[in-house]
Amino acid sequence: MRSDIVKKGATRCAHRSLFHANGFGAEELSRPLIGICNSFNEIIPGHMHLKSITEAAKLGVAAAGGTPVEFPAIGVCDGIAMGHTGMKFSLASRELIADSIEAVTMASGFDGLILIPNCDKVVPGMLMAAARLNIPSVIVSGGPMLAGRFHGKDISVSQAFEAAGKFAAGKMSAEEMTDLEAHACPGCGSCAGLFTANTMNCLSEALGMALPGNGTIPAAYNGARLILAKRAGKVVMDLIAKNICPRDILTREAFENAITVDMGIGGSSNTVLHLTAIANECGIQIPAQLFDDISARTPYITKLSPAGHHHMQDLDEAGGICAVMHELSRKGLIHTDALTVTGTMGERIADARIERDDVIRTVDNPYRPTGGIAILHGNLCPDCAVVKASAVSEDMLVYRGAAKCFDSEEAAINAIMGGDIHDGDVVVIRYEGPKGGPGMQEMLNPTAAITGAGLKVGLITDGRFSGASQGACIGHISPEAMEGGPIALIRDGDKIFIDIPNRKLELEINDEELAERRAAWSKPEPKIKSGYLARYAKLTTSASTGAVLRS
């Protein structure tokens, strides 16, 4: 066993003594040591119930003949971090999570891992760690939040963000906003729509690293989630017995499966960052264009919030990710021979069926014939840009508008809330990329304010968007402004052309003018000059390569 390095031999007398201090006897030390990484905290609603999930996973490990050893991981609540300096730490926390799991695992000699995330950057951070460490590992999340209810309709946190724009536009009273905020998030779990956390938990299934139901069984369905966690304990012990490690599962075919599911369900645009970063840990390069190539052949067969009115509990009732993958496999889009933590993907989805055809459509009757995410190119984004096409209304898929430029998210929000943005504009938010932010902030506050105010505008940024964002919102523009990308050269009043069907994003000025502006541009001072974010800014790469840190 790998853990023998901390348990066996005369030179490990002191090590065993320290284990004894923790209450581990000789019999427990004779078994495989399984690290149980619990990301419980009291700031993220999706994590406040993870103690019970962790205890169930530990029971499962012990019942299967292993010794569970719990340790923590940090987590940032994107919703609470949104719209202020805290959001700069969200994406950057992904690297801290991966690094800290690597540190504890390598220092402790674990034989296997059960990783318990739920929200936003914790899921990809844990998957990155699993790929890097390459010891038998299983992901088991805390599950999605149930939708809230307001005026007879299902709602989620996205409506709470949009309420600010409605209030500013005089479309909602302060009393109504207070009432809505009390009902939008009814309890534990990752926010109820197909936002980043729920997308990544679903894609953990599609990658083969999590059990069926991981992404969709609601957190409030406590019994089902505890059973899932106990089963994960048995599964990790099976993986150790068979010597099946994450990189045996996280193959090129697995990533193609995940991207296919992502396109079929219309997941968060942040997956382009996260899948690319996880693949990088496996030594697999996933160019942004692969997302677009797969999108072009994948029908969009679910329409969940924020694009539609269904939520994660509806997808679970409809058959979950297994039903989605079974349906996509009918068109030959799934690698059914790909390995999972419990056999092949074909074996896993063989008996899955659509249980609610109002939630999951067939490949013969999709919402759109192509997938939920589009990769754009043009003189504004020579490397690439990303848009969640499934959340863009039909009348905004092709759009031309006049630029209104802001060098920070805060300045843009002030303009939107102050009534300075009008129909026909394109809001440009720059110097918010991985280096410039630093940390590549999510722009849910401005997009929600625009939606709430009912404005017909485009928004482009070298930052990124929440999975809860909707509209003609184009992010990940690369190269970013801090690297002198063309987004840094836009001036107020410039015409910007967005053509999502034809994958174009263009600044409508001639090459000579663009060259003159580039020659006149000078790099601004960093926004943050000390601490973790300053180090992050020096090490991070472009959004087009997953914003991973240089090794």
| Phi, psi torsion values for 114, nearest 5 degrees | -115, 125
Q: Is 17 exposed, middle or buried (0-12, 13-18, 19+ CB in 10 A)?
A: exposed
- Angle subtended by helix axes 174-181 and 157-168, to nearest 10: 170
3-state helix/strand/coil string of 244-265: CCHHHHCCHHHHHHHHHHHHHH
Tokens at residue 203, please?
Answer: 């894609």
Largest CA distance in the chain: 75
466 included as an active-site residue:
yes
Cα separations in angstroms, 99 against 26, 29, 125, 130, 284: 31, 26, 8, 11, 19
Task: Give one DSSP letter per residue of 110-155, joined into a string.
Answer: -SEEEEE--STTHHHHHHHHHHHH-SSEEE----BPPPEEETTEEE
Query: What is the four-CA torsion angle of 209, 215, 216, 218, rounded to 10 degrees?
Result: 110
For residues 191 and 156, the answer to whether their CB atoms sit within 8 Å is yes
Q: What's the rounded Cα separation, in Å, for the pair 105 and 275?
A: 22
Out of 466, 469, 478, 542, the active site residue is: 466
Number of H helices, E strands in the chain: 21, 16
For residues 291 and 389, the answer to whether their CB atoms sit within 8 Å is no
Spatial CB neighbours of 107, under 8 Å, sequence gap ≥ 6: none
Q: What's the rounded Cα separation, in Å, for the pair 288 and 541?
A: 14
Query: What is the four-CA torsion angle of 266, 220, 323, 138, rounded to 10 degrees?
Result: 90
For residues 123 and 93, the answer to whether their CB atoms sit within 8 Å is no
Cα separations in angstroms, 46 against 118, 192, 513: 6, 10, 49
For residues 388 and 269, the answer to whether their CB atoms sit within 8 Å is yes
Cα–Cα nearest to 385, from 302, 460, 491, 296: 460
Q: What's the rounded Cα separation, in Å, for the pair 176 and 529?
A: 42
Cα separations in angstroms, 111 against 99, 205, 342: 18, 22, 18
Spatial CB neighbours of 352, under 8 Å, sequence gap ≥ 6: 319, 320, 322, 323, 325, 326
For residues 197 and 190, the answer to whether their CB atoms sit within 8 Å is yes
Spatial CB neighbours of 490, under 8 Å, sequence gap ≥ 6: 380, 403, 405, 428, 430, 496, 507
Q: What's the rounded Cα separation, in Å, for the pair 203 and 517?
A: 42
Spatial CB neighbours of 14, under 8 Å, sequence gap ≥ 6: none
Helix (H, G, I), strand (E, B) or coil at 412: helix
Residues with a known catalytic role? 466
